[in-house]
């Protein structure tokens, strides 16, 4: 038996779409993964067992409020990672 958290896919898509606009001192994969994990930990999981279930969850998340909730959690996670990165930030890693 296999189930997936559909929020993982929705958050990953949103993060890919908005990653370039987020204000982080470091944009490495570690920081991106940290933002992803923190975001998921602050959103309710939506487990599905098949593509039909995922399509249903995705359709529910097309409304403006659901998208705003996901983006709001991404922004909050970005703030956490920006102030407390899980690795040393080298001066050459800073984004402009």
Question: pTM for this one?
Answer: 0.83
Question: To the nearest whole number, what is the mean pLDDT of the chain?
Answer: 86
What letter does residue 89 receive in the DSSP assignment? P
Token pair 């982080």 in the structure block, residue:
24
Residue-wise pLDDT for 9-33, tens only, equals 999 999 999 999 998 989 999 999 9
71 Cβ contact list (under 8 Å, min separation 6): 14, 18
Average pLDDT over residues 50-78: 83
Of the candidates 72, 53, 56, 54, the residue with the CA atom closest to the CA atom of residue 64:
72
7 Cβ contact list (under 8 Å, min separation 6): 40, 43, 44, 45, 46, 57
State the number of CA atoms in the 13 A half-sphere of 96 facing the CB.
Answer: 1
More confident residue, 36 or 53: 36
């Amino acid at each position: 038996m296999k189930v997936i958290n559909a929020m993982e896919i929705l958050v990953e898509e949103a993060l890919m779409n908005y990653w370039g606009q987020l204000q982080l001192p470091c944009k490495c994969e570690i920081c991106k993964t940290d933002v992803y994990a923190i975001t998921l930990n602050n959103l309710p999981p939506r487990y599905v067992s098949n593509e039909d279930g995922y399509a249903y969850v995705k359709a529910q998340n097309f409304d403006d409020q659901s998208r705003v909730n996901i983006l709001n959690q991404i922004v909050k996670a970005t703030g956490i990672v920006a102030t407390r990165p899980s690795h040393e930030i080298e001066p050459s890693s800073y984004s402009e």
